[in-house]
Structure 1
């Protein structure tokens, strides 16, 4: 079991991420028992078979940075969990995918960041709409995750609008009109 950050807490998690081996066909992938997050290719190849598991809340789908989130548009209501993979820290396409899922596609379920999820990026991932952060297993100790959670409170009132707070700061702050000098 790996540790995740969900709802502002560190929690143990029993979801498994299925990754296809080199040359393995999506239609032939063996699914492990329990809760599993499958690649988009597996979902597309076996949708009819996997749909009841997704609706039961024991199967989710993950997207690579190169995949189009609109490929899941028709299935989002059945998916309680969608994950976005960050293969390396410098790949920022996952931020755009999360934002599209939340804003244009209206996805309201659990949106999970998986892969190379680094502490320095936690705040920005949450701003883009991720609800769960799942660093690689063993990447951080519990103490390091607790420190990361505490650091998320460093920015109490961000300037820019984002998925988590659409209005920019100047729209959120009440202003009083300027008074002209009566001279």
Structure 2
């Protein structure tokens, strides 16, 4: 069984990512593997009712490609156990924006997983955009990647995980001036 990083720990991954065939064809619902599956948004949109009827909500996740619109899935948050965002190549950063949109604009609070070409160098930045689970590329060392959370001790910019440093310092200065 493969492992992923989830909530800053290495855990077994019991999910199967379903990909379209080489020609772009999507599998039928009856052809999906048993157990928990993460299906492409196109399959979810085409077969939502059949997927919901065939599986428990705890066993269904959807993955978004870089050119998918996260707003298309907002009304289905309650039907999904997780949302994954595909990073097809290291240099494609659109997934970061999708993560922030899901967390900040659309209020998604469930598991947000990075899949595809996920490398150690990206994990800190993905975390700052709201990701809490990471399926590393198969040829990478997951134990080494876990150390990425300790690479930076201070974040200057604001993001999903913290406000900008100048605001944190101003809040500390204001708290210090309040008489006891």
TM-score normalised per structure 1 = 0.87
User: For residues 59-107 of structure 1, what are the alpha-carbon distances to aligned partners after superposition, in whole Å with 9 as ceiling and x for unaligned?
Assistant: 1000000110011011012212000000000000000000000011100
**Cα distance in 1 between the residues matched to 2:130 and 2:168:** 19
**Deviation at 1:149?**
1.8
2:42 equivalent to 1:41 = yes
Higher helix fraction: Structure 1 or Structure 2? 2
Map of 2:66 onto structure 1: 65
Map of 1:16 onto structure 2: 16
Alpha carbons of structure 1 residues 134 and 53: separation in structure 2 relative to 1, 3 Å: farther
**Cα distance in 2 between the residues matched to 1:125 and 1:60:** 19
Map of 2:98 onto structure 1: 97
Q: Work out whether residues 38 and 61 of structure 1, in 8 Å CA contact, stay in contact via their aligned partners in 2.
A: yes
Q: Work out whether residues 27 and 45 of structure 1, in 8 Å CA contact, stay in contact via their aligned partners in 2.
A: no
Map of 1:162 onto structure 2: 159
Consecutive unaligned residues in structure 1, runs of 5 or more: 177-183
2:143 equivalent to 1:146 = yes
**Deviation at 1:23?**
2.9
**Cα distance in 2 between the residues matched to 1:122 and 1:34:** 27
Map of 1:180 onto structure 2: none
2:79 equivalent to 1:78 = yes
Corresponding residue pairs, total: 171
**Cα distance in 2 between the residues matched to 1:55 and 1:168:** 40
Q: Work out whether residues 83 and 113 of structure 1, in 8 Å CA contact, stay in contact via their aligned partners in 2.
A: yes
**Cα distance in 2 between the residues matched to 1:140 and 1:55:** 32
**Cα distance in 1 between the residues matched to 2:105 and 2:56:** 22
**Deviation at 1:52?**
4.7
